[in-house]
Amino acid sequence: MFSGLKDVTVGRLPGKVAGQQFLIQDCENCNIYIFDHSATVTIDDCTNCVIFLGPVKGSVFFRNCRDCKCALACQQFRVRDCRKLEVFLCCATQPIIESSTNIKFSCFQWYYPELAFQFKDAGLSIFNNTWSSIHDFTPVSGERNWSLLPEDAVVQDHVPLPTTEELKAVRVSTEASRSIVPVSRGQRQKSSDESCLVVLFAGDYTIANARKLIDEKTAIEANTVILHESSDILNLLTCSLRLHHLASKVLDNLSWVVTATFKSLKGIRNRCRIVSDILSNFAVIIWQ
């Protein structure tokens, strides 16, 4: 617990909270960093504070706070009787605000070496993030109590890194390219009408493969269709994994074969398990 603090930088190092509940209350002008996973976190009556929370298995609840800037990951997020909060959020369920105003959200982007393991210990998926799908229990006609931070908002301008020697040892980075949670646009207006469907089979390397795909694919490469539901395409897998090296004629022929195969699919559900076991975490990528 941190209670009644003023004008200090405090925190908990990895392994010090270890999945327990945590309470922050009556703090003013403080920088607070919890570099560990926890069960639930309640933050009451805090003013002008910077708060970082590692993965929270259950809920994070802000009550009667104002002028705070936060970065956190949790299963449930709720704000009540608060004003002027900025939150870089990863949340598995729809965030909720109630009787609150001027609440701004952006996507969580944070890294330190232990963070990925803490997500696993907290039972949170780095890919399940509804940070921008806000539900306001007390909307005001003609007004909006929440908004999204600019897409180019720099995390460190809002939630600066710790400055004490003890907490600096955690080796934190807020670069989007290193973030444990993939940075997403949320409900912001898309810059393009193009879209991409990606399917990865569950397995030991699913997360690693997904992150590799996110890191390597450019906007141009994203115009793909992922096909994965038929055992009839097993013979195409080896070549398909390297489609970007093939000549355009081969691509056209392969696209025709796959299209014809999928037209004849019946009762695919009974074969999905067999395909999944064989393919593991691979997918067939057909370039359009």
- How does pLDDT run along the chain (288 residues), one tens digit per residue? 999 999 999 999 999 999 999 999 999 999 999 999 999 999 999 999 999 999 999 999 999 999 999 999 999 999 999 999 999 999 999 999 999 999 999 999 999 999 999 999 999 999 899 999 999 999 988 889 999 999 889 999 999 999 999 999 999 999 888 899 988 877 776 666 777 777 777 676 777 777 777 677 644 444 444 444 444 444 444 444 444 444 455 545 555 555 555 555 444 444 554 444 444 444 444 343
d(CA 177, CA 23): 31
Pair (211, 169) in one structural domain: no
Q: The dihedral of CA 107, 131, 216, 202: what is its sign?
A: positive
Q: In this structure, is residue 199 part of a structural domain?
A: no
In the three-class reduction of DSSP (H, G, I as helix; E, B as strand; rest coil), residue 119 is classed as helix
Domains of the chain: total: 2
In the three-class reduction of DSSP (H, G, I as helix; E, B as strand; rest coil), residue 124 is classed as coil
Q: Which pLDDT score, from 0 to 100, does residue 16 have?
A: 96
d(CA 115, CA 93): 20
Q: In this structure, is residue 101 part of a structural domain?
A: yes
CATH code for the domain in which residue 83 is found: 2.160.20.70
Pair (148, 220) in one structural domain: no
d(CA 53, CA 41): 9
Q: Which pLDDT score, from 0 to 100, does residue 265 have?
A: 46
Rounded to whole angstroms, what are the CA distances from 169 to 34, 53, 119, 162, 262?
13, 17, 20, 9, 54
Q: In this structure, is residue 191 part of a structural domain?
A: no
What is the domain extent for residue 94? 2-178
Going by C-alpha positions, the residue among 73, 134, 82 that lies closest to residue 105 is 134
Tell me phi and psi for residue 93, to 5 degrees: -125, 175
Q: Which pLDDT score, from 0 to 100, does residue 223 have?
A: 46
* Cα dihedral: 27, 31, 33, 38 (round 10): 20
Going by C-alpha positions, the residue among 206, 205, 152, 208 that lies closest to residue 183 is 152
Beta-sheet strands, E only, within the chain: 2-3, 9-12, 22-25, 31-34, 41-44, 50-63, 66-80, 83-91, 96-98, 101-107, 135-136, 146-148, 224-227, 284-287
